[in-house]
Structure 1
């Protein structure tokens, strides 16, 4: 989570594994484990232990003026995600790893699309969703056999077509008409919802 601090005169201190935010009688606590970075607007006061706790956990603190002009940042010697970035670069140069990651990402997307449609079918008793759900399951099976990234991307596109077919069925129940995915300009009230 990005913690935005905008209250002028706010005091930020550390209490155990939490940041304590105080101004006047108002108090709030935020778990350090939930903070990815801190963005400070204007005059906010930090105690030394609070800043040390943020830096020890690799959490950057960005300072801006009250109007939003960027001033500078306080960051630990190594960014919080340096190991992740190094792993990503190594994976990029390993064709087999790149293929497996692409397959995993697309599998997750299609699996979630299928689960959503299946949930709606159970909830609404909409039998017309059986077709798109079946086709999404078939695409998941084909995905396991894909030999290259172009094939994976083709299967992702095919799955999207079946998923939007299911969304079209659901939108009709709400009185909207959704025949196809269109942009620039969207041709119906549903398409602006899917940028």
Structure 2
């Protein structure tokens, strides 16, 4: 088993980026925008369908009971039986799809300051890796599941990020869990 690798930053640009995209407040604000848009589309109280990739997530539809008729401008969701998605061949569907496209989930991995690649190549096998991003106390940590390729590691600005031992990362996590400071 390969060991994870971890980088840490306390750089103000990284902390501001986290606050804008990764904080609980940013995630709650996104959910409020989603709920308002779902209600505006006529589906108040229904859960959104969020489609995720390592590059981000966006709302692609809303839950809709399979036994209810499908509203004009909508169609059965292509991947879920209990959901609907905008039918883009209709005027109503195009408008709904445009509203949903504005609801990308804030992703702290995207646009992270300091040259952090959103996806890196694994150093010792044919695989692509996305970092887990977490704020612990006054620092943001990036954790890859294994060593990343040297070319990708060179992209990471040493003035913004420092590679830290796993023991330091785990100690910070444990301290935050005990203090309730994990953000």
TM-score (norm 1): 0.26
Higher-helix-fraction structure: 1
TM-score (norm 2): 0.27
Higher relative contact order (CA 8 A, sep 6+): 2
Q: Which has the larger radius of gyration?
A: 1
